[in-house]
Amino acid sequence: MKIQAKKIQMIHLPTPLEYLPALSAELGVELYIKRDDLTSLAMGGNKMRKLEYLAAEAVDQGATMLLTVGGAQTNHGRQTAGVAARLGMKCVIACIDRYPGEISANILLDRIMGAEVVFEAPTGEKGQQEALVRRLIEKYEAAGEKVYYIPVGGSNAAGLPGYYECACELDAQARAMGIGGARVVSAVGSIGTYMGLFCGLRNEGSDLRLTGIAISDFGPDKEVRLQEYFDEVRQHFGMTCTAERADFDIETGYVREGYNQPNADVRQAIYLMARKEGIILDPCYTGKAFAGLLDMIREGKIQKGEKIIFLHSGGQPGINTPHHRVEFERELLDGITVL
Ligand SMILES: Cc1ncc(COP(=O)(O)O)c(C=O)c1O
| Per-residue pLDDT tens digits for 160-187 | 999 999 999 999 999 999 999 999 999 9
- Find, among 233, 244, 223, the residue nearest to 199 by Cα: 233
pLDDT value, residue 100: 78
**Rounded to whole angstroms, how far apart are CA atoms 195 and 210?**
10
Question: pLDDT tens digits for 19-67?
Answer: 999 999 999 999 999 999 999 899 999 999 999 999 999 999 999 999 9
Question: pLDDT tens digits for 278-308?
Answer: 999 999 999 999 999 999 999 999 999 999 9
Site to substitute for ligand 1 among 109, 216, 281, 285, most atoms within 8 A of C-beta: 285
Site to substitute for ligand 1 among 15, 37, 76, most atoms within 8 A of C-beta: 76
The DSSP code sequence of 117-164 is EEEE-----TTHHHHHHHHHHHHHHHTT--EEEE-GGG-STTTTHHHH
- Find, among 275, 335, 277, the residue nearest to 310 by Cα: 277
Atom number in ligand 1 closest to CA 193: 10
The DSSP code sequence of 277-323 is H-----TTTHHHHHHHHHHHHHTTSS-TT-EEEEEE---GGGGGSHH
Same domain, 292 and 160: yes
Last residue of a domain, one of 154, 172, 203: 154
- Find, among 209, 289, 193, 300, the residue nearest to 249 by Cα: 209
Answer whether 290's CB lies under 8 Å from 273's CB: yes
- What residue numbers bound the domain in which 233 lies? 17-45+156-335
Atom number in ligand 1 closest to CA 75: 16
Same domain, 73 and 220: no
- Does pLDDT of 101 surpass 90? no
End-to-end CA distance of the chain: 58
Same domain, 99 and 179: no
Mean pLDDT of 125-152: 97
Q: How confident is the model at residue 105 (pLDDT cuts 50, 70, 90)?
A: very high
Same domain, 253 and 198: yes
- Find, among 159, 222, 216, the residue nearest to 192 by Cα: 159
Question: Does the pTM exceed 0.95?
Answer: yes
Same domain, 244 and 299: yes
Question: pLDDT tens digits for 180-232?
Answer: 999 999 999 999 999 999 999 999 999 999 999 999 999 999 999 999 999 99
**Rounded to whole angstroms, how far apart are CA atoms 51 and 72?**
20
Same domain, 176 and 295: yes
Same domain, 125 and 236: no
Ligand 1 centroid vs 338 CA: distance in angstroms?
Answer: 38
